Structure 1
Amino acid sequence: MAGTNKLSGIVDKINTLPEFARSRALTLFFGKVVPFTGTAGIRIESLDHDRCVIRLVNKRRVQNHIGGVHAVASLLLAESATGFLVGMNVSDDKVPVIKTAHAEYTRRAKGDMTVEAYLTAEQRERIRMEDKGEVTVPVTIRDSEGKEPIELAMIWAWTPKRR
């Protein structure tokens, strides 16, 4: 699929690299564009127009007082994955903004965290075609045991850029 904006064009080029190099290249690129993701140590496993998978290793710098990934770091993962995905699909004349982030912590997380966000074809079409709007981006967060310790709802909006 051809890039719909500058960001997706760059990511599409990165995705032509050999498979072993893609994740590192995506991670380095987004660490430069969104410095806090690099600071936190987020690793982008895969990103395209439909789906984003990112991971955070449970290291000391992102831990809470009981040794798990801090709640805010978990939200950073969800916000980053959904934001990267919306950013891949919104045209350059619009700006994406997070509107709502809702998290319900249902169980204690163990170890590393992996987040997967995705958009349906209908959602992608709306983002590309509508001048402004909002979309709930489905997102799942799993711990190292494969369990889902947090139920998340991430709503993104987009509006025309001010000139």
Structure 2
Amino acid sequence: MPSNRLKRAVSLINRLPQGLRPSLLSLLFASQVRFAGTARIRVDSLTPQQACLTLRNRRRVRNHVGGIHAAAMALLAESATGFLVGMSVPDTHLLLIKTLQVDYRRRATGSLRALATLTSEQLMTLATQTRGEITVEVAITDESGRQPITCEMIWAWLPRQH
């Protein structure tokens, strides 16, 4: 299996007591994706198959009507899918967002939760192809349990140029 420092770090964190994991995963993520750290996206749980991230409705991410800003919603969806795919791409490869399509359906109520998933077939594709692209499922729900946005995130990977 090719080396992936992110996957190793997450695996080490996931061995720690449950109460420590979200804070440490969030710090790891913020160190790699500074804009997500600025928004204070929280990584609640992360495995090779699933990422669960949350974004609290706080002043720094609010729009003019008191809800979470549209760009912050898109950042949450991109973060959940990118962190998940990033654990499956070797360090010798570059991960890039190819398509970020977000459809805004309704105003969000309160904080948001993102749940991104990869299928076993997608994990196999990531492990066996030196370049490619995949569509990553992500559901964004608000405190009412409804989906204020629907998203399609397509991630591509290719060998780094040396």
Give me the TM-score of the superposition, normalised by structure 2. 0.97
The CA distance in 2 between the partners of 1:4 and 1:104, in whole Å, is 36
Stretches of structure 1 lacking an aligned partner (at least 5 in a row):
none
Sequence identity percentage = 47
Q: CA deviation at 1:94?
A: 1.0
Q: Is the 8 A contact 1:4 1:89 kept in 2?
A: no
Q: Is 31-40 or 116-125 further displaced after alignment?
A: 31-40
The CA distance in 1 between the partners of 2:122 and 2:152, in whole Å, is 15
Give SS of 1:75's match: helix
Question: Partner of 1:16 in structure 2?
Answer: 15
Q: CA deviation at 1:111?
A: 0.5
Q: Which amino acid aligns with 2:154?
A: I
The CA distance in 2 between the partners of 1:97 and 1:77, in whole Å, is 16
Aligned positions, number: 162
Q: CA deviation at 1:24?
A: 0.5
Give 1:1-163 correspondences, 5 Å limit. Answer: 5-163=4-162
Q: CA deviation at 1:43?
A: 0.4
Q: Is the 8 A contact 1:90 1:128 kept in 2?
A: yes
Stretches of structure 2 lacking an aligned partner (at least 5 in a row):
none
The CA distance in 1 between the partners of 2:105 and 2:8, in whole Å, is 38
Q: CA RMSD in A?
A: 1.2
Q: Is the 8 A contact 2:56 2:111 kept in 1?
A: yes
Q: CA deviation at 1:129?
A: 0.8
Q: Which amino acid aligns with 1:51?
A: Q
The CA distance in 2 between the partners of 1:156 and 1:4, in whole Å, is 19
Q: Is the 8 A contact 2:116 2:139 kept in 1?
A: yes
Structure 1's consecutive aligned runs of 4 or more residues displaced over 4 angstroms after TM superposition are: none
Q: Is the 8 A contact 2:2 2:90 kept in 1?
A: no
Q: CA deviation at 1:14?
A: 0.4
Q: CA deviation at 1:122?
A: 0.5
Give SS of 1:20's match: coil
Give SS of 2:19's match: helix
Give SS of 1:140's match: strand
Give SS of 1:138's match: strand
Give me the TM-score of the superposition, normalised by structure 1. 0.96
Give SS of 1:131's match: coil
Q: Is the 8 A contact 1:115 1:142 kept in 2?
A: yes
The CA distance in 1 between the partners of 2:143 and 2:101, in whole Å, is 22
The CA distance in 2 between the partners of 1:41 and 1:3, in whole Å, is 31
The CA distance in 2 between the partners of 1:149 and 1:69, in whole Å, is 10
